[in-house]
């Protein structure tokens, strides 16, 4: 405790009189004091201001390039002098103690290593502890170039850096792709940054664990750089309580003379020191959280749009337009186009949805849909009123012929139906019509199918044709509504809200996926262009501003393209997507079940290296993955809401399935919201019930399992079972009894400690029971050949109708990607069943692999309860199977590997097969199969292929031998008989007891061909 010395009390001064001389002398002293004080004050005001922040530059004394070390120190000093922050530099590791580090806002590792390998510059235990304490207290760290080299055995430091250097390349010229144009360290940099440097390979790719600011352009052909799409070059992250920023630049002293590199370094310093804001979570997988909005009873969702008040509109191909109210989590059917089941199996249904730009004022929405016969398509406008849409409000803008040949099956191969609507910034409406099975339509100038149309809707429900479309109005044999021709495959279109460019994608004849950025009317896509190459008289490149180079994706069945993000800085929604995404095109692939972003060149650029040609604004800049840790079934549509969150439709696994009652799941179909949560998490809300339908009174056991926050962070629960807005329970796992028939939306609200909330809803139907379905034939996993007629029988049980009430087979809907389901009829002798067949096309090669067939039945409902739909599904496989399409692999040596082989079917085969490895296919039923032929290449030690049921050591069904390596590695095709087996899982076990790790692999396997018993 500090104390001050006591002072004697002051006595009151005596009264004195002063002589004039004394007064004059006193006045002189006062004036002198005032002058001296003024001078001192002026001097004080001119003193330098306190630095905005302080930076410590730590360099390794034993570093190989002292010139680079000195250049780095000098550069940071100059930046400090110019920008008002303090700089101290040292090569002494003893600076790493708590007291000395506490003086600085950021520490720069200037090509220095914290744990050097042989140079003796590593930090000791106390130094390591001090650095950890400093970061955990909120300090900043900046790493230059070789700061990633000395990770040593310190895992925490490797996490701080973000990655450990594997090896460097020779110094050479390459280009850096700048991905983040919002962060202070990259905001002023060009899109493509030409640099001469030593380039790094990383031991482990840091993508998804850090926020990548810039990455190396691999296709520039940098010698010594590992192949791969992602080579991060600069990144940042919030790490263990502090901030970490790293750049791989700074190898040569000359780097610290480059204005762009100095700007890059300055922004990194300012962000790490906390002097400038910047998001460093945008590309981290863990920074995004997915919330389900609707997942039950939502069959065939295909498109989504979000209103200004955050209501989510969902179009279903089956003809229903649903509305999800995020305030109550209630799902309402706003419009039902009343498609009959047989119509839904042969027509495209409802495929496109868009809200009018003035929706907040006029409540208009636009639908692209088939009529109830499937013979025509309508582009119609409807008016919404709350959560309903009046069918009588329809205004038909366009009518065109249907898109499918008679008997064609929609969504073949799991592809979503084509059809898309999008508005641009000027109120023009683009309608992508597609044609699927009508190849001639995409090249017909007087056919609106297979094209992208552009019109301007009018208030009276008609439209005008804007200037600049492909054909002038009145041109003979043409339709003026056509904007782009040749876009015939499944795809969606979107409009860049800033540039106004139309973005689309299509699938070429060879199955590759091409992306188009369309800035003016033209002929593109099939049959005019493939990969940017013209066929015939069409000139692809000018009309599409260049078919985006290098964006084909082989093996993908469809191309689905989402929105371009517009960052709204004024939005107060705390989990909106960050500014990093501004201008990026979000794309998704239903077959690959992944999301990517496409970035475009913002301005024209030229380069000094003659290898690099000029680039133009609008060309493809980069393709990067996003949401890498989220699992999807079949993403089909995505849209940003006014809140800056992303809304995604997942159509589920099947062709039109949403709920498989036998499995008790929803098959993945649903509507989801993705929020950017950064380094924090929102509480989750999830509802599970033991039942969601039945007769009254109905007691339902609810559970909030899966809700809350990780790490046992406390949350509160609030349940509203009857939808009246009140709280009926605050327990985590309550039960409730419904006494009155009807449909209810039970709602759970979970609140975290910071007041953040999450909600989940669950529909409960009282007074009706969901029907149950079971497929009696064909067996799950059965095999077929092209041209087969596949008879099937389905049993339907409905509690309200009774076990012996005849089933209305017209209410049974079968969807199959491998053929056309025929008319269903009652099964003879079984009142509760229906029978029919699926006719596959003779000579048409179905994709080798599993094909999921879904069956649904909708009951008649009850007087006070709505109709309910039951679902089931089964899988059929082609008799010819690609070996690499196995379900699982494993074994003694971790299983087989899918490798590229030019001579293999589909260009891939099973490789790295060793003794004890196996692959499995499930489900597979061999009830009618008698033998199998294997396509194998004798390129190794040789061995045996055993076919076993149920497990790798299950009953042996048959086996065959593959010889050892031959002079030529041509495929051989040995055959073996198979025992009759009706199980659901088939294993192929590879063996050679004489094999050892010093010997080559056994062989390669390309395909399997199963043969039925002779008829």
- pLDDT band for 672, please (50, 70, 90 cuts): very high
Whether 116 shows a pLDDT value over 80: the answer reads no
How high is the pLDDT of residue 641?
A: 95
The confidence score (pLDDT) of residue 411 equals 42
- pLDDT recorded at residue 256: 95
- pLDDT, residue 34, reads 40
Please state, rounded to an integer, the average pLDDT across all residues of the chain: 83
For residues 961 and 66, the model is more confident at 961
Average the pLDDT over each of 252-261, 428-437, 689-698 and give the range with the smallest value. Answer: 428-437
Instruction: Please say whether the beta carbons of 508 and 487 come within 8 A.
Output: no
Whole-number Å distance between alpha carbons of 326 and 324:
6
Name the β-bridge partners of 671: 294, 649
400: three-class secondary structure by DSSP:
strand
Whole-number Å distance between alpha carbons of 930 and 879: 12
- The region of weakest confidence among 320-324, 600-604, 899-903, 940-944 is 899-903
Average pLDDT over residues 7-22: 35
* Mean per-residue pLDDT, 44-52: 59
How far apart are alpha carbons 96 and 124 in whole angstroms? 9
Backbone phi, psi, residue 40, to 5°: -65, -40
Q: Do strands 106-110 and 54-59 pair parallel, antiparallel, or not at all (unpaired)?
A: parallel
* Alpha carbon distance 739, 353 (integer Å): 39
Give yes or no for residue 195 having a pLDDT over 50: yes
DSSP state of 528: T
- Dist. CA 117–CA 630, nearest whole Å: 38
Instruction: Give me the half-sphere count of Cα atoms (radius 13 Å) on the Cβ side of residue 884.
Output: 16
pLDDT of residue 799: 84
- Quick one: which H or E segment has residue 595? strand 594-600
Dig out the tokens for 622 from the structure. Answer: 């980069």
Q: What is the pLDDT of residue 489?
A: 60
Determine how many CB atoms are found less than 10 A away from the CB of residue 663.
11
The whole-number pLDDT of residue 490 equals 53
Span 928-941, mean pLDDT?
A: 92
List, for residues 391-402, the tens digit of each pLDDT value. 999 999 999 887
With beta carbons less than 8 A apart as the criterion, state whether 466 and 454 touch: yes
More confident: 513 or 375:
375
Distance from C-alpha of 766 to C-alpha of 823, rounded to nearest angstrom: 33
DSSP one-letter string for 948-985:
EESSTTS-EEEEEEE----SS---B--EEE---B--S-
User: How far apart are the C-alpha atoms of 844 and 881, rounded to whole Å?
Assistant: 15
Pull the structure tokens for residue 5: 């010395």
Q: What is the mean pLDDT of the segment spanning 93-102?
A: 94
What order do you get walking across the sheet with 585-589 strand by strand?
A: 560-564, 585-589, 594-600, 620-626
Measure the CA–CA gap between 333 and 931, rounded to whole angstroms: 51
> Please, is 728 exposed, middle or buried when counting C-beta atoms within 10 Å of its C-beta (0-12, 13-18, 19+)?
middle
Give the position of tokens 């061909």: 1009
**In sequence order, which residues have a C-beta less than 8 Å from that of residue 762 and are 6 or more positions away?**
296, 687, 689, 692, 702, 745, 746, 747, 748
pLDDT at 23: 33
Cβ-based burial of 664 (10 A; exposed 0-12, middle 13-18, buried ≥19): exposed
Asked whether the beta carbons of 514 and 553 are under 8 A apart, the reply is: no
Query: If pLDDT is split at 50, 70 and 90, which confidence band does 536 have?
Result: very low
Q: Cα 19 to chain center, whole Å?
A: 93
pLDDT above 70: percentage of residues in the chain: 82
* pLDDT, tens digit, 9 for 90 and up, residues 144-161: 988 887 666 789 999 999
Give the model confidence (pLDDT) of 443-495 as tens digits.
678 888 878 999 999 999 999 999 999 999 999 999 999 998 877 665 678 99
Give the span between the Cα atoms of 142 and 770, in whole angstroms: 61
pLDDT at res. 73: 95
Please give the pLDDT value at position 744. 93
Q: CA end-to-end span of the chain, whole Å?
A: 104
Q: CA–CA distance from 789 to each of 674, 836, 932 (Å)?
A: 44, 10, 22
Q: How many CB atoms lie within 10 A of CB 753?
A: 11
**Of 622, 625, 605, 623, which is closest to residue 614 (Cα–Cα)?**
605
Neighbours of 703 (CB within 10 A): 17
pLDDT at 379: 96
For residue 800, is pLDDT > 90?
no
Cα 647–chain centre separation: 11
pLDDT at 426 (0 to 100): 94
Angle (CA) 742 743 747, round 5°: 135
């Amino acid at each position: 405790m500090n104390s001050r010395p006591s002072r004697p009390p002051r006595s009151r001064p005596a009264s004195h009189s002063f002589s004039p001389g004394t007064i004059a002398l006193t006045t002189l002293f006062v004036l002198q004091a005032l002058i001296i004080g003024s001078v001192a004050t002026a001097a004080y005001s001119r003193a330098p201001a306190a630095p905005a922040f302080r930076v410590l530059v730590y360099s390794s004394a034993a570093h190989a390039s002292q010139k680079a070390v000195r250049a780095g120190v000098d550069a940071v000093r100059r930046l400090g002098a110019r920008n008002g922050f303090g700089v101290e530099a040292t090569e002494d590791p003893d600076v790493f103690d708590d007291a000395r580090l506490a003086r600085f806002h950021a520490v720069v590792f200037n090509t220095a290593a914290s744990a050097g390998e042989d140079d003796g510059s590593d930090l000791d235990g106390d130094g390591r502890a001090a650095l950890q304490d400093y970061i955990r207290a909120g300090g900043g760290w900046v790493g230059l170039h070789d700061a990633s080299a000395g990770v040593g055995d310190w895992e925490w430091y490797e996490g701080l850096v973000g990655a450990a250097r594997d090896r460097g390349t020779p110094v050479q010229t390459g280009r850096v792709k700048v991905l983040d144009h919002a962060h202070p360290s990259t905001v002023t940099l060009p899109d493509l940054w030409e640099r001469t440097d030593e380039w790094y390979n990383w031991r482990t790719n840091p993508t998804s664990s850090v926020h990548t600011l810039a990455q190396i352009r691999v296709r520039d052909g940098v010698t010594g750089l590992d192949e791969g799409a992602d080579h991060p070059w600069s990144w940042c992250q919030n790490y263990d309580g502090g901030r970490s920023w790293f750049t791989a630049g700074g190898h040569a002293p000359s780097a610290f003379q480059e204005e762009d590199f100095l700007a890059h370094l300055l922004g990194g310093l300012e962000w790490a020191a906390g002097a400038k804001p910047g998001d460093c979570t945008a590309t981290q997988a863990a920074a995004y959280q997915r919330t389900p909005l609707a997942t039950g009873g939502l069959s065939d969702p295909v498109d989504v749009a979000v209103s200004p008040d955050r209501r989510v509109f969902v179009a279903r191909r089956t003809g229903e337009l649903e509305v999800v109210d995020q305030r109550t989590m209630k799902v309402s059917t706003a419009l039902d186009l009343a498609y009959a089941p047989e119509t839904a199996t042969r027509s495209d249904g409802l495929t496109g949805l868009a809200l009018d730009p003035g929706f907040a004022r006029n409540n208009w929405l636009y639908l692209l849909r088939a009529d109830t016969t499937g013979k025509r398509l309508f582009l119609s406008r409807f008016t919404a009123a709350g959560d309903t849409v009046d069918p009588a409000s329809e205004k038909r803008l366009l009518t065109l012929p249907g898109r499918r040949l008679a008997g064609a099956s929609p969504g073949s191969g799991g592809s979503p139906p084509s059809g898309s609507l999008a508005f641009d910034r000027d109120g023009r409406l683009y309608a992508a019509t597609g044609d699927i099975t009508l190849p001639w339509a995409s090249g017909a100038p007087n056919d609106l199918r297979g094209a992208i149309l552009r019109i301007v809707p009018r208030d009276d429900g008609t439209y005008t044709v804007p200037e600049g479309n492909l054909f002038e109005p009145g041109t003979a044999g043409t339709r003026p509504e056509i904007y782009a021709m040749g876009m015939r495959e499944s795809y969606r279109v979107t409009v860049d809200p800033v540039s106004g460019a139309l973005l689309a994608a299509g699938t070429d004849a060879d199955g590759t996926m091409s992306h188009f950025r369309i800035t003016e009317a033209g002929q593109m896509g099939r049959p005019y262009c493939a990969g940017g190459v013209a066929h015939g008289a069409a000139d692809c490149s000018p009309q599409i501003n260049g078919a985006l180079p290098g964006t084909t994706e082989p093996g993908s069945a469809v191309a689905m393209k989402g929105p371009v993000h517009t960052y709204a800085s004024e939005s107060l929604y705390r989990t909106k997507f960050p500014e990093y995404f501004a201008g990026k095109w979000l794309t998704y692939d239903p077959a690959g079940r992944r999301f990517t972003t496409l970035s475009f060149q913002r301005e024209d650029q030229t380069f000094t290296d003659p290898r690099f040609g000029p680039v133009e604004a609008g060309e493809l800049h980069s393709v990067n993955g996003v949401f890498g840790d989220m699992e999807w079934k079949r993403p089909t549509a995505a849209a940003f809401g006014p809140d800056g969150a992303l809304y995604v439709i997942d159509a589920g696994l099947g062709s039109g399935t949403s709920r498989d009652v036998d499995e008790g799941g929803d098959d993945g179909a649903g509507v989801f919201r993705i929020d950017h949560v950064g380094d924090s998490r929102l509480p989750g809300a999830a509802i599970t019930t033991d039942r969601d339908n039945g007769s009254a009174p109905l007691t339902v056991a609810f559970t909030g399992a899966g809700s809350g926050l990780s790490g046992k962070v406390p949350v509160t629960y609030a349940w509203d079972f009857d939808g009246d807005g009140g709280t009926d329970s605050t327990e985590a796992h309550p039960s409730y009894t419904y006494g009155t028939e009807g449909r209810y939306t039970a709602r759970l609200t979970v609140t975290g400690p910071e007041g953040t909330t999450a909600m989940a809803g669950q529909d409960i139907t009282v007074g009706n029971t969901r029907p149950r379905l079971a497929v009696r034939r064909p067996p799950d996993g059965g095999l077929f050949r092209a041209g087969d007629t596949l008879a099937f029988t389905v049993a339907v049980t409905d509690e309200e109708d009774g076990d012996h009430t005849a089933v209305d087979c017209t209410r049974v809907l079968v969807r199959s990607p491998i053929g056309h389901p025929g008319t269903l009829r009652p099964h003879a002798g079984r009142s509760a069943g229906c029978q029919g067949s699926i006719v596959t096309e003779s000579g048409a090669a179905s994709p080798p692999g599993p094909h999921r067939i879904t069956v649904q039945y909708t009951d008649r409902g009850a007087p006070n309860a709505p109709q309910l739909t039951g679902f089931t599904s089964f899988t059929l496989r082609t008799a010819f199977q690609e070996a690499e399409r196995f379900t699982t692999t494993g074994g003694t040596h971790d299983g087989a590997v899918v490798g590229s082989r030019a001579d293999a079917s589909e260009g891939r085969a099973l490789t790295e097969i060793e003794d004890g490895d196996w692959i499995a296919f499930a489900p597979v039923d061999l009830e009618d199969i008698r033998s199998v032929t294997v396509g194998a290449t004798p390129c190794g030690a040789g061995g045996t292929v055993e076919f076993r049921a149920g497990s790798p050591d299950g009953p042996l069904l048959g086996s065959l031998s593959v010889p050892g390596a031959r002079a030529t590695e041509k495929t051989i095709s040995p055959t073996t008989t198979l025992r009759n087996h009706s199980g659901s899982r088939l294993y192929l076990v590879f063996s050679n007891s004489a094999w050892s790790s010093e010997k080559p692999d056994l062989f390669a396997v390309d395909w399997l061909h199963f043969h039925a018993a002779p008829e």
